[in-house]
Structure 1
């Protein structure tokens, strides 16, 4: 599913391996996001392409969502990372990418969305609260990975956010 929003010319598409290095550079330029290896980004763009969204403006990658269906919960999409280039921020692109992803045929059985967020990441909390409102569903959160127990004291707690249940068939590609 590829489409162009008529108002901004952005193209939403499945990523390919060629997006791996640009994704790595986009994340590196977007602190405080946790960087991954280029190899990891190549896997995100190839093995997980069906549950990822690349947004390009001309030939520049300006947004990316990576996720995957949880192996033990195939009705749940786990959103691994959302990244927007500095010049594309503040335009609602993150939510548009998530809705685009949920509207894909590969996500037709998804009824829940999960992600983890640090307590101080207000932009991400606002994004997922807004998405829950748009999906007319509740958002629950709980500490999932603890600073001391899981990160050796070098990373803040990660809270698990759970949105759902919802009906992704109510979304259409034009909403992206």
Structure 2
């Protein structure tokens, strides 16, 4: 899972609230957690930043190149082709989100409902650009996407995380606490499956969840 979040010392006690206008109407549908979640640079919110308005929307195929470019310029994220993101946004837009400022893409999240378990939403990759200095944007993307999927009937949210990534683990625990849900963990993919130097992919499964 790839969410850019602050270091543990700077993660708030509660996940930052996302306004209703930021949420995108989503049908039941698509995505897998975040691979390679990473720390978001701590940014002091200036008066100018406070006026920055972020909009969340569903992706379209035309977003593929811009998202690919964001991934390529985010250290530590798994690299995929432009075609990959373009195809993903055609087939799995319902489980994904785009964050924009003045129509510029500043963040994204990809996810999907698992075909074998359609009540389970998997968050695969998400990242946010530090260019506009928007605090906790990666966390807000995760919260918005997960909350809208729960509202659309998802009962579980999943993501895979490195055991060393304390920041995202804290975010997942806060999400579970917010929904009064339990967390199950296990190694989904051991490092031995990967040809390069890769950590174990530890699955975090949160649920059961309810929209109430």
Structure 2 length as normaliser, TM-score? 0.70
**Hey, which of these two has a bigger chunk of strand by percent?**
1
Distance 1:13 1:90, change over 3 A: closer
CA offset digits 1:87-137 (Å, max 9, x no partner): 356723233223322344796120100111122223322221222222221
> Out of 93, 116, 121, which is 2:137 matched to?
93
Q: 1:118 to 1:3 in 2, by over 3 A?
A: same
Residue in 2 aligned with 1:160?
Answer: 203
Which residue of structure 1 lines up, in the alignment, with residue 100 of structure 2?
56
More helix by share: 1
Query: 2:180 is matched with which residue: 136, 142, 152?
Result: 136
The answer to whether the Cα contact below 8 Å between 1:101 and 1:107 also exists between their aligned partners in 2 is no
Q: After alignment, is 100-109 or 113-122 more displaced?
A: 100-109
Q: Distance in 1 between matches of 2:87 and 2:205?
A: 25
Cα displacement (A) at 1:27: 1.1
Q: 1:124 is matched with which residue: 139, 153, 168?
A: 168
Q: Does the 8 Å CA contact 1:102/1:108 hold for their aligned counterparts?
A: no
Give CA deviations for 1:142-162 in whole Å, capped at 9, x if unaligned: 1111111x1035311111110
CA distance in 1: counterparts of 2:174 and 2:137, whole angstroms: 13
CA distance, structure 1, for counterparts of residue 183 and residue 133 of structure 2? 24
Matched residues, number = 167
Structure 1 unmatched ranges of 5 or more: 171-176
Question: C-alpha separation between the residues in 2 aligned to 1:98 and 1:90?
Answer: 15
Could you tell me which runs of 5 or more consecutive residues in structure 2 were left unpaired when the two chains were aligned: 1-19, 24-49
Call closer, same or farther: CA 1:151–1:107 in 2, change over 3 Å.
farther
* Structure 2 CA distance for partners of 1:104 and 1:7, relative to 1, 3 Å: farther
Native 8 Å contact 2:160 2:203 kept in 1: yes
> What is aligned with 2:21?
3
Contact 2:150–2:209 at 8 Å: present in 1 too?
Answer: no
Residue 28 of structure 1 pairs with residue 46 of structure 2: no
User: RCO higher in 1 or 2 (8 Å CA, sep ≥ 6)?
Assistant: 2
Moved runs in structure 1, 4+ residues, more than 6 A?
A: none
Report the 3-state secondary structure (helix = DSSP H, G, I; strand = E; otherwise coil) of the residue aligned with 2:131. Answer: helix
Alpha-carbon spacing, 1:33–1:122, altered in 2? closer, same or farther (3 Å) = farther
Is the 2:183–2:206 contact (alpha carbons within 8 Å) kept by the matching residues of 1?
A: yes
